[in-house]
């Protein structure tokens, strides 16, 4: 049994002011070195779940464990990549990458900081752009800077919220490959939110489907590496079959909603 | 492209120097003409002629008198602006950051802001005595509102995503202010500073006409009492010139400090 780096136990989430639960009773774990994709249509609560799992917002019920310890804020060893690169416009690329390394929570001495920044920029291929400001970067470059910003933290677990959804198809492909290489090279785990099945299949070891109909519940959990499915979901001998299962589940979810709408 | 470039440059030089210069020459012409026309009915107008001012300017500058008064005025601006910043920045952060504080102070600030700072003169003299202190008080009072309002607007314009980023990096409260909020509001703050410099400079002259013994405002009254009307006109010109220079410096500072 592999080490569980992240565990979400019976997560429920209710935003004040809403008359429904955004997340209901969600359970899953991310094991060491594993890349887990969270899939689901927009509005099903993926971002909410990622925010809870990364400690950005507290769960209404349930518990998040990072390496066995319950968390209430984002712990060291965890980094978050946001949907848009979220660079600070008043800092140049190098300083954006170093941002946060001077904070009390994870203080890295200046010389060490510069080394890490240089190494990270080299890894994402942006050493030449170190002095540029975010306004002068393309979308793909900006997102690479934001990947570098997580690299310098040497985190064991990365949360990525649709990191490439605003990029064009070609850039997205190369960014996916880059991300995969980086995660493998640093033996880092990741929880990746996406609504793109191809992206999930290309990157993930495991695939979790969140449904909106029942109010943000986990519909399925597939292990893409083993031929045996986990947690009662159908076996997945290969990727194609997994995709089929996925579409079946999605179709069931959608047709369920359609008939519900018709009877309303 | 290579042909279009120099042409573009020529128009920019033209609009940069030619038109402003023409405007200035126009101003001097109207000044000269007004004195000329007034002289028939008001003989004293002759004292205010450009020629008189020129003689005064040469005398005043060669003796360094005006420089001393101007430096006194600039020192007061600096102190007044620093006080306005010292009070305005924290208040603006509170207004922008705490909803209840914003609601509670909105009407009060609006009300106070619309009172000319000079109205406080009698009170200022009563409580702070005669000298620099009441002038500093009035200048700070004049400059604090644009700083509060612009700081608050800056805080309101902070992108929530930046705060989320700070949270994901486990920034504490001080770090959020130091590394996100302050740099994030810099643009607004510098705009506020520039507006404050403008209004402080305008309030300065009348404020210096009461109870102080140096400064450009004092110099104007002094010139009147000495019946050196050329000096008076020169003081007015210097006030305009220095004010425009301060404003230009504040604007350039803003452009310089904003990255990219
Ligand atoms: N801050 C919030 N306050 C209230 N409701 C929210 C908030 N954020 C998200 N929601 C609601 O939660 C649901 C899921 O949103 P989200 O997690 O952003 O979904 P996804 O990322 O899958 O598109 C939506 O119905 C949305 O309206
Ligand atoms: Mg989302």
Give the start-to-end residue ranges of the domains of chain A: 4-77+157-263, 84-154
C-alpha distance from A235 to closest chain B C-alpha (Å): 36
pTM for this predicted structure: 0.78
What per-residue confidence (pLDDT) applies to A214? Answer: 63
The per-residue pLDDT of chain A, averaged, comes to 83
pLDDT band at B259 (very low <50, low <70, confident <90, very high): low
Chain B residue at shortest CA distance from A73: B170
* Bridge partner list, A158: A79, A190
- pLDDT class of A230 with cuts at 50, 70, 90: very low
* pLDDT of A249 higher than 80: no
On whether the A4-77+157-263 domain is CATH 3.40.50.300, my answer is yes
* Rounded distance from Cα A241 to ligand 1 centre (Å): 31
Note the pLDDT of residue B4.
42
DSSP-assigned letter for residue B39 = T
B148-162 pLDDT, tens digit per residue, is: 999 999 999 999 999
Q: Which pLDDT band holds residue A229 (cuts at 50, 70, 90)?
A: very low
Q: Does A48 contact ligand 1 (Cβ within 6 A)?
A: yes
Tell how far the Cα of B224 is from the centroid of ligand 2, in angstroms: 71
Ligand nearest, relative to CA of residue A16? 1
How many angstroms separate the CA atoms of A58 and B211, rounded? 61
pLDDT at res. B212: 84
Tally of CB atoms within 10 A around B63 = 10
Q: A73 to chain B nearest CA, in Å?
A: 7
Residue B190 has pLDDT above 80, yes or no: yes
Of A257-261, B113-117, B167-171, B186-190, the range with the lowest mean pLDDT is A257-261
**Cβ contacts of B183 on chain A, cutoff 8 Å:** 88, 90-91
Write out pLDDT tens, residues B222-255: 888 888 888 888 888 889 999 999 999 988 888 8
Which ligand lies nearest the alpha carbon of A216? 1
Q: With 50 as the cut, is the pLDDT of residue B22 above it?
A: yes
DSSP assignment of chain A: -PPEEEEEEEEEE--TT-SS-SEEEEEEEEETT-EEEEE--TTSSHHHHHHHHTTSS--SEEEEEETTEE-SSPPTTEEEE-SS----TTS-HHHHHHTTTTSGGG---HHHHHHHHHHHHHHTT-GGGTT--GGGS-HHHHHHHHHHHHHTTT-SEEEEESTTTTS-HHHHHHHHHHHHHHHHHTT-EEEEEES-HHHHHHH-SEEEEEETTTTSEEEEEEESSSSS-STTPPP-SSHHHHHHHHHHHHHHHHHHHHHHHHH-
pLDDT of residue A221: 76
pLDDT score of B86 more than 90: yes
Nearest to B171 among A75, A80, A103 (CB): A103
- Chain B residue numbers touching A47 (CB-CB < 8 A): none
Distance A15 CA to ligand 1 centre (A): 8
Size of interface A-B (CB pairs under 8 A): 61
Pick from A86, A90, A104: CB nearest B165 = A86
Quote the pLDDT of residue B100. Answer: 92
Tally Cβ neighbours within 10 Å of residue B50. Answer: 14
């Amino acid at each position: 049994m592999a080490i569980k780096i992240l565990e979400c136990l019976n997560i429920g989430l209710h935003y004040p002011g809403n008359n429904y639960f955004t997340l209901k009773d969600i359970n899953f774990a991310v094991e060491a070195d594993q890349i887990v994709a969270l899939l689901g249509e927009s509005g099903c609560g993926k971002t909410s779940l990622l925010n809870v799992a990364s400690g950005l917002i507290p769960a209404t019920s349930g518990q998040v464990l990072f390496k066995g310890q319950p968390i209430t804020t984002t712990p060291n060893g965890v980094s978050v990549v946001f949907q848009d690169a979220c660079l600070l416009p008043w800092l140049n690329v190098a300083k954006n990458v170093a941002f946060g390394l001077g904070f009390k929570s994870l203080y890295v001495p200046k010389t060490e900081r510069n080394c890490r920044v240089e190494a990270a920029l080299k890894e994402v291929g942006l050493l030449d752009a170190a002095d540029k400001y975010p306004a002068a970067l393309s979308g793909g470059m900006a997102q690479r800077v934001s990947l570098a910003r997580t690299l310098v933290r040497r985190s064991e677990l990365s949360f990525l919220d649709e990191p490439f959804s605003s990029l064009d198809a070609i850039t997205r492909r190369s960014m996916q490959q880059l991300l995969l290489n980086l995660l493998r090279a640093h033996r880092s785990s990741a929880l990746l939110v996406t609504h793109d099945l191809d992206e999930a299949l290309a990157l993930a070891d495991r695939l979790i489907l969140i449904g909106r109909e029942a109010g943000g519940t986990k519909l399925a959990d597939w292990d893409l590496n083993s031929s045996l499915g986990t947690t009662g979901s159908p076996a997945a001998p290969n990727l194609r079959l997994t995709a089929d299962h996925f579409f079946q589940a999605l179709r069931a979810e959608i047709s369920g909603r359609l008939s519900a709408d018709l009877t309303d | 492209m290579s042909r279009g470039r120099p042409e573009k440059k020529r128009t920019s030089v033209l609009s940069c120097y030619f038109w402003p210069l023409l405007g200035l020459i126009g101003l001097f012409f109207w000044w000269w003409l007004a004195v000329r026309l007034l002289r028939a009915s008001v003989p004293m107008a002759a004292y205010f002629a450009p020629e008189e001012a020129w003689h005064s300017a040469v005398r005043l500058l060669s003796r360094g008198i005006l420089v001393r008064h101007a430096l006194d005025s600039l020192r007061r601006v600096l102190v007044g602006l620093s006080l306005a910043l010292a009070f305005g920045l924290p208040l603006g952060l509170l207004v922008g950051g705490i909803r209840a504080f914003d609601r509670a102070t909105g009407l009060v600030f609006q009300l106070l802001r619309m009172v000319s700072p000079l109205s406080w003169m009698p009170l200022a003299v009563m409580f702070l005595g005669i000298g620099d202190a009441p002038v500093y008080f009035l200048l700070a009072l004049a400059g604090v509102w644009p700083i509060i309002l612009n700081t608050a607007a800056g805080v309101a314009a902070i992108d929530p995503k930046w705060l989320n980023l700070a949270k994901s990096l486990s920034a504490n409260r001080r770090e959020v202010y130091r590394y996100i909020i302050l740099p994030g509001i810099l643009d607004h703050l510098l705009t506020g500073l520039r507006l404050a410099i403008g209004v402080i400079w305008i309030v300065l002259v009348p404020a210096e006409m009461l109870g102080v013994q140096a400064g450009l405002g004092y110099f104007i009254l002094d010139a009147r009492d000495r019946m050196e009307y050329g000096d008076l006109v020169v003081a007015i010109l210097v006030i305009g010139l220095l004010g425009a220079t301060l404003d230009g410096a504040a604007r350039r500072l803003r452009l310089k400090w904003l990255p990219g």
